[in-house]
Amino acid sequence: MSDLRTNSILGATLGAVLGVMAIGVFANSLVHPNYPEKAGYLPEVAGADAGGGGPAAPAGPPDFGRIFADQTQLASLVTHGQQVTAVCAACHDFTAGGPNRTGPNLHDLFGRRSASHPGFDYSDAMKSHNVTWDYLALNAFLTAPSSAVPGTRMAFAGIHNENDRVAAIAYLRSISPTNVPLPVPLPEAASADGATTAATTVAPASSPAAPH
């Protein structure tokens, strides 16, 4: 009698399981899940091919002829340039008749030939550079010394901030007795609304250097 009851329970359980499976198969035959081939939303990632995603085109040199012609702005630039170049004092002296240090004295740098300051042992790379330190030559060198003069001994990455660099050049010019005429101002660029834009003033900043 006990065995009959056990068999009845097992049979009922098996029947219930088979019934649930049958219902599932029947339901799937009526309703088909429909997943789209593409997700409804994908975040866009800007890459090199996207408009404006590549590196910016290199800008031309600062408009020294226009910037330095403004005497009020020039005075501010000189003050800021003295601050920017202050850390250079570890390697350079800026006073008239001052000594050479790790780098040459920079009092009369502006307007003199490269590698020409008396008593300083310049690198061969600087000796062969053969330029006059004017607005554009200093701008190129101070932007990236090792690129402007490959092989220079000056271990300095450059003043990448244009405002700081222009200010440093203004200061070096102010402490150099040699008169180097200003370049002709560049043509003013027309903006989208037809207005013209001129060179802007200099903002505060940081790092410095000067040529060895």
Convert the pLDDT of each residue in 56-92 to its tens digit. Answer: 445 689 999 999 999 999 999 999 999 999 988 889 9
Tell me which residue of 212, 211, 182 sits closest to 199, measured CA to CA: 182
Convert the pLDDT of each residue in 117-154 to its tens digit. Answer: 999 999 999 999 999 999 999 999 999 999 999 999 98
Mean pLDDT of the chain: 75
Contact yes or no for 144/158 (Cβ under 8 A): yes
Asked which of 48-52, 104-108, 128-132, 156-160 is least confident by mean pLDDT, the reply is 48-52
Give the residue with greater pLDDT, 107 vs 35: 107
Tell me which residue of 60, 81, 50, 105 sits closest to 170, measured CA to CA: 81
Q: Where are the beta strands (DSSP E) in the chain?
A: 189-190, 196-197
% of residues, the chain, pLDDT over 70: 61
Burial class (CB in 10 A: 0-12, 13-18, 19+), 201: middle
Place of tokens 């630039």: 77
Which amino acid type is present at position 156? F
pLDDT of 30 above 60: no
pTM above 0.85, yes or no: no
Sorted by sequence, the CB contacts under 8 Å of residue 18 that are 6+ apart come out as none
CATH topology for 64-183 is: Cytochrome Bc1 Complex; Chain D, domain 2 (1.10.760)
Asked which of 34-43, 100-109, 170-179 is least confident by mean pLDDT, the reply is 34-43
Q: How many CB atoms lie within 10 A of CB 43?
A: 4
The pLDDT of residue 57 is: 40
The pLDDT of residue 136 is: 95
Q: How far apart are CA 170 and CA 78, in angstroms?
A: 5
The pLDDT of residue 62 is: 95
